[in-house]
Amino acid sequence: MIPKNHPRYESLILRDKVKNAFIEGYLADTGMIAHGRGETFDYLIGEETVDSAYKAIEAAVALILLADNSVLSVNGNVTALAIDEIIELARETDSQIEINLFYRTEKRVDKIAELFKDHGYDNILGTNDDDLYYFDKINNPRATASLRGIYIADVILVPLEDGDRAELLKNAGKKIICIDLNPLSRTSEMSDISIVDNVVRAIPLMSKIAHEYKNKDKRFLENIVENFNNEENLKKSLNSFKIQKL
C-alpha cells in the first residue's frame, strides 16, 4: 500500500500497475525495463506535458480525425497504464483498437482481449481468432496486422512501439504517430508525428482535444497537420530535458 502523501505517489502507482500487469501475465518482462527507461525520461521533462508535446498531440489528433481508417495499437504496457483512456480515445476519434505485441504469445493476447472486454470494449482486433496478415511476408509475430485493422489503416497510433515494427509499418505506407518519452528512439525519429510524453498524460489529452476538434471542418484540421514539422518539434522536445529535482 503506497501512502497518498508520498512525494512520489503518482510515479509509484504507475510502477505498481506495471508490476501487477506482469504478475497477471499480460505485460512482457522487458515491459518493466521499458517502463523504467520511460520513468527516467519523464523525470527529466518534469513529468509534465511540455509545449512541443502539446503541439504534437494537436497535430496527431488532426491527422487521426482526417484518416479514412485509423487504428490505435495497444501492447502490454498501454493496457496496464491507460486501458480506459485508450478506449475513450477510440470512441472520440472513431478509431479501432488492435492488439499488437512485440513479444506475442496466445496467452498474453487472450488476457489483453479479456481485459478490454471487462472494460466495456468488445471489438478489439488482433486477437488469436482474427484474420492476421504478415507485412512483407515476414512470418514473425512482430509483423502481424489484422486484415480489418492495421493492414488497411492509413493512420496508426503506436504508443510505446519498438523501432523495427515502426519501420515495418512506415514501409507499408502508413502514417505513424508514436508516443515515446525518448525523443532519440528510432520510433520517434521515423514517425510522422512523435509525441514525447507519458502515455498516461498524452492519451487523455488527445481525447480532450479530439472532442473539441471533431466538429471542426476539414480545412482546419489540414492546416494543423501541414504546419507541423516533426523534425523541428523533436529538437524542441529534446531541449526541454533538464536536470532538476522533482
Residues forming contacts to ligand PTJ in the complex (CB under 6 A) are 28, 30-31, 34-35, 37-38, 41, 75-77, 81, 101-103, 160, 162, 179-182, 185, 198-199
User: Distance between CA 97 and CA 106 in Å, rounded?
Assistant: 18
Report the 10 Å Cβ neighbour count for 59. Answer: 23
CB 92 within 8 A of CB 207: yes
CA angle 196–197–202, rounded 5-degree value: 125
Rounded Cα gap, residues 68 and 53, in angstroms: 24
Distance CA 184, CA 160 (A): 13
Q: What minimum distance in Å lies between the beta carbon of 49 and ligand PTJ?
A: 11
Q: Which residue number, 59 or 221, has a Cβ lying nearer to ligand PTJ?
A: 59
Q: Which is nearer to ligand PTJ, 62 or 196 (CB)?
A: 196
Please identify, using beta-carbon distances, which residue of 162 and 192 lies nearer to ligand PTJ.
162
By C-beta, is 202 or 209 nearer to ligand PTJ? Answer: 202
- DSSP secondary structure string for all residues of 200-233: HHHHHHHHHHHHHHTTS-HHHHHHHHHT--HHHH
Chain-centre distance of CA 61, in angstroms?
A: 13
Q: How far is the CB of 112 from ligand PTJ (least distance, A)?
A: 9
CB of 230 to ligand PTJ, least distance (A): 16
* Residue 34 Cβ vs ligand PTJ, minimum distance, rounded to whole Å: 4
C-alpha to C-alpha distance for 177 and 243, rounded to whole angstroms: 28
Min dist. Cβ of residue 215 to ligand PTJ (A): 29
> Residue of minimal CB distance from ligand PTJ?
38
Residue 33 or 222: which CB sits closer to ligand PTJ? 33
Closest separation in Å from C-beta 57 to ligand PTJ: 13
Spatial separation of the C-alpha atoms in residues 143 and 141, rounded to whole Å: 5
